[in-house]
Amino acid sequence: MPIVDSILMELDQESKTTRKLLERIPEDKLGWKPHAKSQSLAVLSMHTARIGGQIAKAAAVDSFEFAPGPPSDPKTRKEILDAFDENVASAREILKSFDDARMMSMWSATMGGKTLMTIPRVAMIRTLLLNHTYHHRGQLSVYLRLLDVPVPSIYGPSADENPFA
């Protein structure tokens, strides 16, 4: 099996769970923050929605210059869900073109001309696309809990949803 196939299977499976969380975002609470230093629910949700497509585009080149811009501040849940669906589809299209040699080739990240990391592309995809999504999905589940929104099952029962019952 090509290396990318296992990545695509995981992306497909995990995207279902991520979408469930995004679907539960209370639209009237998009500006809410759990702490003054935290991102708003809208900004965190949109960042989570865009990770797949943005990182897959970065993976398509051998060296990527990070240039963080202002965060996107969506006004509706639909805007977030549309961005998520578009970015997952974009990530799939880009990733499925990678053969094993491409997945194992080296990839670099730079910022301001300084090399931040040079790692195999597959490690970059695992870390920056998949794990990064799971990290922010976890943050979103805490935001939902603090807002008293039922938290969906992620890898097993939550206090609100038991897929095994």
> pLDDT tens for residues 64-99?
998 888 889 999 999 999 999 999 999 999 999 999
Give pLDDT, residue 71. 84
Give pLDDT, residue 70. 85
All domains in the chain, ordered by first residue: 3-25+39-146 (1.20.120.450)
pLDDT at 60 over 90: yes
- In this prediction the pTM is 0.95
Tokens representing residue 135 in the block: 């990290």
Amino acid at 142: V
Higher pLDDT, 41 or 67: 41
Higher pLDDT, 164 or 68: 164
Residues 97-152: tens digit of each pLDDT: 999 999 999 999 999 989 999 999 999 999 999 999 999 999 999 999 999 999 99
Q: At what angle do helices 3-23 and 132-146 cross, to 10 degrees?
A: 20
Spatial distance between the Cα atoms of 31 and 73, rounded to a whole number of angstroms = 9
Tokens representing residue 52 in the block: 């797949």
User: At a CB cut-off of 8 Å and minimum separation 6, what does 154 contact?
Assistant: 17, 21, 137, 141
Give pLDDT, residue 69. 81
